Structure 1
Amino acid sequence: MRFPPPSRLPRTRRLATFRRSTGLLGDFRFEQSDPAVFYGHLAEDTALLLESLHGDCTGTGLNGRTVLDVGGGPGYFSRAFAARGCGYVTVEPDAGEMAAAGIAVEASVRGSGTALPFRDGVFDVTYSSNVAEHVADPWAMGDEMLRVTRPGGLVVMSYTVWLGPFGGHETGLVPHYIGGDYARDRYTRRHGHPPKNVFGESLFDVSCRDGLRWAGRSGAEVCAVFPRYHPWWAWWLVHVPLVREFTVSNLVVVLRRT
């Protein structure tokens, strides 16, 4: 199917600069050693991204909107959305993960992304950031995200593509190309313990192609597909089969529920 051109996203394009890209890539070195730094910066960037996308796709801002963060973890993103006047709700299946950073989130719900504990059409914006690659059936989660979003609302799914350089997460930039099992076992041998993201259990092979197919069959309006961490002039990579699997790194799919 054909996807909307970048010209339909003027606010989001202004955000997608080379300086932003290099800054976000630089933050990745803190993900394991200082997650508050990494996720604090990522939270602000995510809120800016959703604010821009909401403006581009609906013509309105986020103030007064209800936002559901699927897989929100310990709540790093809550302050960034509260600062924009949003009603923020996070859902996370792991109780330990919810309490990991000691952040108090007023509306924090324990539940599965593939069976969200909310009625239909509740939220104005439903998003997940770097969650789909940790779910065995990410498209079931995507369908649930659409279900709980009101008609006219946005669903934004952003995830790490397996064949991109960061597909293996902390197991390294190259080993996952040999295989997920190899990367997991190599990390365990080198560090004396398994990685946080264990291939086949909490990390899965999620492709760019499958995300685009899900968007096309979702029944929703496809507002945008683009690489999250690339400057706007590199967004064309998402439209090139095979090449996109290695170069997109993180795919953003934006749907508007009809």
Structure 2
Amino acid sequence: MLARDSVDQVEAYCGAVDGRTVVDVGGGSGYFTEEFRRRGAQAYLFEPDLSELGVKPPGGAVVADGYLLPLRDGVADVTFSSNVLEHVADPQTFLSELARVTRPGGLVYVSFTNWLSPWGGHEWAPWHYLGAERARARYQRRTGRAAKHTLGENLFAVHIGATLRQVRARDDVEVVSARSRYWPFLAEGVVKAPGLREFATWNLLLILRRCPP
């Protein structure tokens, strides 16, 4: 369902993906890639974590770091990244790589769960509001196993206001839309409210257009 909804969002901004080249960066087991392919796109999955690919990843999946994709410049009509930005230590370098592999005029789709979202702590949310270490310790006590994520290692505190300022200052992309990914109403309105947006947006979706070099 999430894959269908996400591809619907892509097509709302660039039209049908049929026949287009799509690069899915950090797509895990590949359900986004498979949905793009179902609609006729030439979609390719690049995932850095072999364990995330699962036992049956899509054909042609590549184990690759999002900081350094094994692709030439401008190869993609659409570069897609769902819930990855909060897991990289250097979001701006990651965004630069997404822009690099996107053709001028092409679309970059980036969504992430911001730190102050009720889900910002992922499996140990919403207790991250009381501190990351306390939240992780509570998770381990409750489940009897260590949490998958550790703040500063594979989960980072990414904020909406700072991210918007950084993206708008870039010269390789322009912001087409900044909205809540899941809200059915006021999706762009909530992102325009400083302070409130850090809690209420839940998940920020950025639709970016690749600028000419």
What residue is the counterpart of 2:35 in the other structure? 80
Give the 5 Å matches for 1:243-258.
Answer: 243-258=196-211
Deviation at 1:160, TM superposition (A): 0.3
Count of residues paired in the alignment:
210
Q: Deviations over 1:61-102 (max 9, x none)?
A: 21111101110111122221112110001111111211x1x3
Q: Which runs of 5+ in 1 are unaligned?
A: 1-40, 56-60
Distance 1:157 1:243, change over 3 A: same
Counterpart AA for 2:89: A
Question: Pairwise CA RMSD of aligned residues?
Answer: 1.3
What residue is the counterpart of 1:67 in the other structure? 22
Contact 2:79 2:102 in 1 (8 A): yes
Counterpart AA for 1:44: R
Q: Deviations over 1:78-137 (max 9, x none)?
A: 221112110001111111211x1x334122111111122211111000011011111111
Give the 5 Å matches for 1:138-149.
Answer: 138-149=91-102
What residue is the counterpart of 2:142 in the other structure? 190
Deviation at 1:237, TM superposition (A): 1.0
Deviation at 1:236, TM superposition (A): 0.6
2:167 paired with 1:215: yes
Counterpart AA for 1:209: G
Q: Among residues 65, 72, 75, which one is paired with 1:112 in the alignment?
A: 65
From the two aligned structures, give the one with the greater helix fraction.
1
Q: What SS is found at the alignment partner of 1:82?
A: helix
2:10 paired with 1:50: yes
Paired with 2:91 and 2:146, the residues of 1 have a C-alpha distance of: 23
Give the 5 Å matches for 1:165-180.
Answer: 165-173=118-126, 175-180=127-132
What residue is the counterpart of 2:152 in the other structure? 200
Counterpart AA for 1:216: R
Larger displacement relative to structure 2 (187-196 or 129-138)? 187-196
Contact 1:211 1:253 in 2 (8 A): no
What residue is the counterpart of 1:94 in the other structure? 49
Counterpart AA for 1:170: E
Deviation at 1:210, TM superposition (A): 2.2
Deviation at 1:234, TM superposition (A): 4.2
Paired with 1:135 and 1:186, the residues of 2 have a C-alpha distance of: 24
Identical columns (%): 47
Paired with 2:187 and 2:94, the residues of 1 have a C-alpha distance of: 28
Paired with 1:79 and 1:127, the residues of 2 have a C-alpha distance of: 13
What residue is the counterpart of 1:181 in the other structure? 133
Counterpart AA for 1:87: Q
Paired with 1:232 and 1:128, the residues of 2 have a C-alpha distance of: 23
What residue is the counterpart of 2:109 in the other structure? 156
Q: Deviations over 1:124-171 (max 9, x none)?
A: 000110111111112211111001101110111100011011111111
Paired with 2:120 and 2:193, the residues of 1 have a C-alpha distance of: 19
Paired with 1:211 and 1:156, the residues of 2 have a C-alpha distance of: 14
Normalising by structure 2, report the TM-score. 0.93
Deviation at 1:216, TM superposition (A): 0.4
What residue is the counterpart of 1:28 in the other structure? none
Contact 2:79 2:98 in 1 (8 A): yes
Counterpart AA for 1:160: T
Contact 2:181 2:187 in 1 (8 A): no
